[in-house]
Structure 1
Amino acid sequence: IAVSNKVTFVNPKAPVYPRLAQGKSWNEMTVTWTSGYDIKEAVPFVEWGEKAGRQFLSPAGTLTFDRNSMCGAPARTVGWRHPGYIHTSYLKDLWPDSMYTYRLGHRLPNGTRVWSKSYSFKASPYPGQDSLQRVVIFGDMGKAEADGSNEYNNFQPGSLNTTNQIIRDLDNIDMVVHIGDICYANGYLSQWDQFTAQIEPIASTVPYMIGSGNHERDWPGTGSFYGNLDSGGECGVPAQTVFYTPAENRANFWYATDYGMFRFCIAHTEEDWRPGTEQYKFIEHCLSSVDRQKQPWLIFLAHRVLGYSSNSYYGFEGTFEEPMGREALQELWQKYKVDLAFYGHVHNYERTCPVYQSQCVVNASNHYSGPFQATTHVVVGGAGASLSDFITSKIQWSHFRDFDHGFGKLTAFNHSSLLFEYKKSRDGNVYDHFTISRDYRDVLACSIDNCPRTSLAS
């Protein structure tokens, strides 16, 4: 019998899994990472600067949570494992589109510094900047391993394929938006480390923005809109701690982020979004406050399908949406001329025509031009979790459906040209696409149901 040498970690507390995210201003990047160092043991910081330029030191804040922060089992019982310490540093006053290097550090009481390896990122363009801008969007990816050794149910079979395709194309990606159902830890907290390790090549290089889904937030009696058990007792605490979002209140998980010519309005479907609520006011402000001359591409994102899906569950319910979804929001999408709305939750791909009140305002196409007519709704929830069936009948507003794992990609070439692509995770090839060509005067033009009322007297 052969016996190997004893295998140990060089430093089990070392800083790991850096995760970039957009800050609250366009020229700020945040870096979040995990370590075993309590703030009393070592001071966390980031060393960073332009490539071959002066290097700066920025301090980091530290968060963690304990078992009593969990809302129920298994997160509070058999699934509990201490998350370590989560550190976030804010890198400010960045030059647009400049390349920066950074590394994570901890200063011990004796003056010794513990370092991570070095990483690099490109700073965001300024709002309205006319440059090539590329954003990948998906939901429900989860995590997996090549041999499945840590999986008890193989629920996320497409996860590695999606991750690997994004890594292969990373030179052509500027930002990632993962709209909910992040890692499906479901109360087994070590799986958050498993997930952040899996996405490290992506999240350490480009901003990795997240939304919250039912598997992060939902738990009875905790204020979530749906009182089910889907979070496994986590009730949103790990998600809002492990990842940074530029939200005014990180527990709410709704926020706006600008990237060059894009304005992204990210809603939180596990909190009430109906008229009169705090979230509804945020959504309207996010949609209404953008300067479309500078940022022509207005994108709405949410985890559950607040728009349109012919998923079998929604079809059997007869709603083709999350109940009270588009009834509450479609007037806002139309009024403020939202180009695209993206959703996860349903584990497949589907694209609608430009649709309003369940009717195609114009026929679906691979190219749209001229004045805005209505919002196109896209389900991109097939990034990893087991696939969801469609109803067998074809719905008039449903243009393209795919029962497979995949993800979406937006490319803004300039202020008047936008490309959307749907890529399959198995090969990275494009299986659906469309373009929008539009001038600023086309955004100003009124569209169906948002033209001013006129009469003969006026």
Structure 2
Amino acid sequence: MDPKPIITVLFLISATVIAAQEYVRPPPRKALHFPWSRKPSSLPQQVHISFAGDKHLRVTWVTDDKSAPSVVEYGTSSGKYSSVAQGESTSYTYMLYRSGKIHHTVIGPLEHDTVYFYQCGGQAPEFQFKTPPAQFPITFAVAGDLGQTGWTKSTLDHIDQCKYDVHLLPGDLSYADYIQSRWDTFGELVQPLASARPWMVTQGNHEKENIPLLKDGFQSYNSRWKMPYEESGSSSNLYYSFEVAGVHAIMLGSYTDNDEYSDQYRWLKADLSKVDRQKTPWLLVLFHVPWYNSNKAHQGEGDSMMAAMEPLLYAASADIVFAGHVHAYERTKRVNNGKSDTCGAVHITIGDGGNKEGLAHKYKNPPPEWSVFREASFGHGELNIVNSTHAFWSWHRNDDDEPVRSDQVWITSLVSSGCVAEKTLELTKILTEP
């Protein structure tokens, strides 16, 4: 039986959902308590992995021992490590705080869709991860604005039930807010998940932590969460791109210069010019501050970035744009220049991971014509890209069981709709403009 008619019907049914009734949630749960316990100084802590170019992953961890080696041993059998890699390390001071030794070690080349076992610095315990597949299908877990509350724990527990390959986080990780020990507790909180699947993150406003005349912004974030910016030709850890299983993902910075004269803008043009939609038919984009937002919170904050960069993303036929910042969930129709456009991107705000500041309950009414579904609840999303033409998006409230989909829709790629082919000349023109 041909699945296309079924997919089409499901898409049409889902697309007709206008909005759910307002779902009033209780305030955020209390901050998690992390009792202090003495650990061996060489013990690997806060372990997480991220992409580092084709078939390579970066393993990051922290030790209290400043002489601990930045070495990762790894292999496909538990306790038997056939490969070893030497990495680099860094550390930083922040007022009276001194970080541990932060290790970054790139390992590979790695086989696709394979379980690897590894140790950091020659020390137990043993960790394991599974590499993503070489081709579709692939599943992304998506949750922003995490923090360290009871709701965060609920979100992570739900994501742990999801059979996902990569986690995408559009900003606001630890909510340390200048208290550097909270970066350490956040690293410990997410380690069970972040050590087992690649976590690809971009910065939010809570990562700034700048002190005028004393401290530049993003020092803690850049030291702890090194992303593949160098591998993607970027000069800043605040924006970069990566490719996985038929997807080109672009991570942009809402809190670094992004006008048409900025380094980020020039990098984005260069990155888009390299995208091969035959190789990567899906184009995803993430940043922190949403451009399409019918919540009363943070209205207009993304307007200047949108004015500069939306024409680029539209010409390049970006399929889906994820953002955070607003502590609620919202999904749009395909949209561009403030109105529905069948060749525009679907915008999804998912800043509801579990932050300490609570939910953003107040929406503009009536909703804009481009807003399809919106709700102020904590939760996470799952994007299952089935093939080059179809992806299934679902959003899951924390108060429901993970299998319950509070919002769901089939999304058809712009490659399959003909938009990419139609805009070839427009893209070439805009990317070659000085």
After TM superposition, is the score higher than 0.5?
Answer: yes
- Select 1:138's aligned residue among 140, 143, 146: 143
Q: Report whether the alignment pairs 1:348 with 2:328.
A: yes
- d(CA) in 2 for partners of 1:181 and 1:13? 29
Q: Report whether the alignment pairs 1:377 with 2:347.
A: yes
What code does the residue aligned with 1:446 have?
E
- Select 2:296's aligned residue among 302, 305, 312: 312
Query: Does the CA contact (< 8 Å) of 1:86 and 1:241 recur in 2?
Result: yes
What code does the residue aligned with 2:124 have?
S
Query: With CA pairs under 8 Å and 6+ residues apart, which has the higher RCO, 1 or 2?
Result: 2
Query: Does the CA contact (< 8 Å) of 2:330 and 2:373 recur in 1?
Result: yes
- Select 2:49's aligned residue among 20, 24, 30: 20
Cα RMSD for the two superposed structures: 2.5
- d(CA) in 1 for partners of 2:353 and 2:37? 34
1:281–1:251: structure 2 CA closer, same or farther, 3 Å change rule?
closer
- d(CA) in 2 for partners of 1:177 and 1:402? 20
What code does the residue aligned with 2:131 have?
A
- Select 2:164's aligned residue among 173, 182, 197: 173
In the alignment, which residue of structure 2 is the partner of 1:324?
304
Q: By how many angstroms is 1:447 displaced? A: 5.8
Correspondence 1:193-204 to 2 at 5 A: 193-204=184-195
Q: By how many angstroms is 1:125 displaced? A: 3.6
Structure 1 or 2, whichever has the larger Rg, is 1
What code does the residue aligned with 1:241 have?
S
Q: Report whether the alignment pairs 1:29 with 2:62.
A: no
Q: Deviations over 1:201-224 (max 9, x none)?
A: 1101000111111111253657xx
Correspondence 1:275-424 to 2 at 5 A: 275-305=260-290, 307-315=291-299, 319=300, 322-362=302-342, 373-385=343-355, 386-388=358-360, 389-424=362-397
- d(CA) in 2 for partners of 1:161 and 1:325? 33
Q: By how many angstroms is 1:330 displaced? A: 1.8
Runs of 5+ unmatched residues, structure 2:
1-35, 430-434
In the alignment, which residue of structure 2 is the partner of 1:42?
68
Runs of 5+ unmatched residues, structure 1:
1-6, 68-75, 107-114, 145-156, 223-231, 363-372, 454-458
1:290–1:303: structure 2 CA closer, same or farther, 3 Å change rule?
same
Query: Does the CA contact (< 8 Å) of 1:334 and 1:375 recur in 2?
Result: yes
Query: Does the CA contact (< 8 Å) of 1:334 and 1:374 recur in 2?
Result: yes
- d(CA) in 2 for partners of 1:87 and 1:452? 41
1:176–1:451: structure 2 CA closer, same or farther, 3 Å change rule?
closer
In the alignment, which residue of structure 1 is the partner of 2:408?
433
Alignment size in residue pairs = 384
* Larger relative helix fraction: 2
What code does the residue aligned with 1:345 have?
H
In the alignment, which residue of structure 2 is the partner of 1:99?
115
The percentage of aligned residue pairs carrying the same residue is 25
- d(CA) in 1 for partners of 2:340 and 2:51? 35
Correspondence 1:264-275 to 2 at 5 A: 264-275=249-260
Q: By how many angstroms is 1:8 displaced? A: 6.7
Which SS does the other structure have where 2:260 is aligned? coil
Query: Does the CA contact (< 8 Å) of 1:186 and 1:233 recur in 2?
Result: no
Q: In terms of mean alpha carbon deviation, does 267-276 or 41-50 score higher?
A: 41-50
Q: Report whether the alignment pairs 1:236 with 2:252.
A: no
- Select 1:163's aligned residue among 156, 164, 170: 156
TM-score with structure 2 setting the length? 0.82
Which SS does the other structure have where 2:86 is aligned? strand
